[in-house]
Structure 1
């Protein structure tokens, strides 16, 4: 590699780090906004749901029962979205314990393989030797990894391949999930973790999976990002410190 190529690679790496830092600062600001908004919206939603349910219990007219049931269902749908925002705003602290990265990946594989099979997508898992051990909340990491795989399945819709691969670099455990789907445009790479952004069709919710993944990664002192150099297809990388001693605060 020439000196010019090294300088170019170093510049690109620095640019990527700056973009990730700006993204994380934005998401931290959104977290504070979400915490305040969640409280303000959740209380009236709870009142609407409880009153609709009370009226429904004493209503005999079929049409009015249908209308009240719709009001209750929509209020509860809003409540579920607020619960997701609250998870983003005030995530539960990870319950750290010794675990194996391969077991976390295998748990995700078993949870998501049936959904992949139903849409005729091949889900693959590559585990390295020697075993990668870390101190983390295994349940939270399974949830985060499943969110990434689910995102890939939604992008592919049918056929294709998703591969989970594990690695270790310095003090970080690294999980990469790559697919051979349409990929993620560069301009969207920093938006997919935004809780107020969704590439879904209208009426299908906020698409909160990758935001949950970001929240869990940062609660562990790690990070998750789009590998914009990968293509065709998409690769999402989850990095988690091997031990709490190697954790750097993200707050």
Structure 2
């Protein structure tokens, strides 16, 4: 009996993810070196501007110094995100439940969703999905996915968090009915500082954080292109740490 031919689309997707992971690993090495070089001058600029601001009485100069300080701190926060990407904290795996991670995410993100009149829903199986992972990091990753969808929608719409599991993995997906993710952007949306504003996506480290946390847990994060034109990002984490 002839065997079924291999799924070329699946193998292509796997190869694309491998190339993406290799690229991001190279960016991590670059980010670690660059962040050290940039961080010290930024800290000096911020501290000097703050010191001058304390003794300045001229309103125009105070405004200029405050602007310098604010922009230096903005750069400092970006460097902090870059360092988190380059040298993320090691996960502290403990027994946890996917429903608790989702509930924490809902509590944190509901205020922002309500503010822009976006419906935030949770779909989960009746049984508990238990895993051995760092619940705090997974909550951070899931919040970043929801925030990415909120930025895409801007106002109204719906975001659905779905929980599921396979024999070996816990799965959290976030789907929104916003403008979707263009095919040409799928391979770069996890890059640090990638701007997807042209497609309604945000700017920053949200999806990069998800990738970093997934990698640290031996998992994966990817765009499910089968739901196009909608946007669905899937976070897949092993139920137990790999030994």
Asked if the contact 1:101/1:133 (under 8 Å) is kept, the reply is yes
Give me the whole-angstrom Cα distance separating, in 1, the residues matched to 2:112 and 2:11.
38
Which segments of structure 1 move beyond 2 Å, counting only runs of 4 or more? Answer: none
For the pair 1:186 / 2:183, whether they are aligned, the reply is yes
The residue that corresponds to 1:155 in the other structure is: 152
Report deviation, 1:60: 1.7
1:22 pairs, out of 19, 24, 42, with: 19
The residue that corresponds to 1:145 in the other structure is: 142
Partner SS state of residue 167, structure 1: strand
The residue that corresponds to 1:218 in the other structure is: 215
Asked if the contact 1:223/1:240 (under 8 Å) is kept, the reply is yes
For the pair 1:103 / 2:122, whether they are aligned, the reply is no
Unaligned runs of 5+ in 1: none
Partner SS state of residue 229, structure 1: helix
- Deviations along 1:76-103, one digit per CA (max 9) or x if unpaired, are 1100000000000000011111100011
Unaligned runs of 5+ in 2: none
Give me the whole-angstrom Cα distance separating, in 1, the residues matched to 2:28 and 2:45.
25
TM-score by length of 1: 0.91
Report deviation, 1:129: 2.8
Asked if the contact 2:113/2:119 (under 8 Å) is kept, the reply is yes
Report deviation, 1:206: 4.4
Asked if the contact 1:84/1:208 (under 8 Å) is kept, the reply is yes
Give me the whole-angstrom Cα distance separating, in 2, the residues matched to 1:62 and 1:115.
35
Give me the whole-angstrom Cα distance separating, in 1, the residues matched to 2:89 and 2:21.
19
Give me the whole-angstrom Cα distance separating, in 2, the residues matched to 1:183 and 1:101.
26
Partner SS state of residue 69, structure 2: helix
- Deviations along 1:145-187, one digit per CA (max 9) or x if unpaired, are 0100111111111221111111111211011111111110111
Give me the whole-angstrom Cα distance separating, in 1, the residues matched to 2:79 and 2:58.
31
For the pair 1:37 / 2:26, whether they are aligned, the reply is no
The residue that corresponds to 2:7 in the other structure is: 10
The residue that corresponds to 1:175 in the other structure is: 172
For the pair 1:85 / 2:82, whether they are aligned, the reply is yes
Give me the whole-angstrom Cα distance separating, in 1, the residues matched to 2:166 and 2:68.
51
2:116 pairs, out of 115, 119, 124, with: 119
The residue that corresponds to 1:242 in the other structure is: 239
- Deviations along 1:188-213, one digit per CA (max 9) or x if unpaired, are 01111100311248xxx942111111
- Cα RMSD, aligned residues only: 1.7
Give me the whole-angstrom Cα distance separating, in 2, the residues matched to 1:200 and 1:231.
18
TM-score by length of 2: 0.93
Give me the whole-angstrom Cα distance separating, in 2, the residues matched to 1:179 and 1:65.
44
Greater shift in the superposed pair: 32-41 or 206-215: 206-215
Partner SS state of residue 129, structure 1: coil
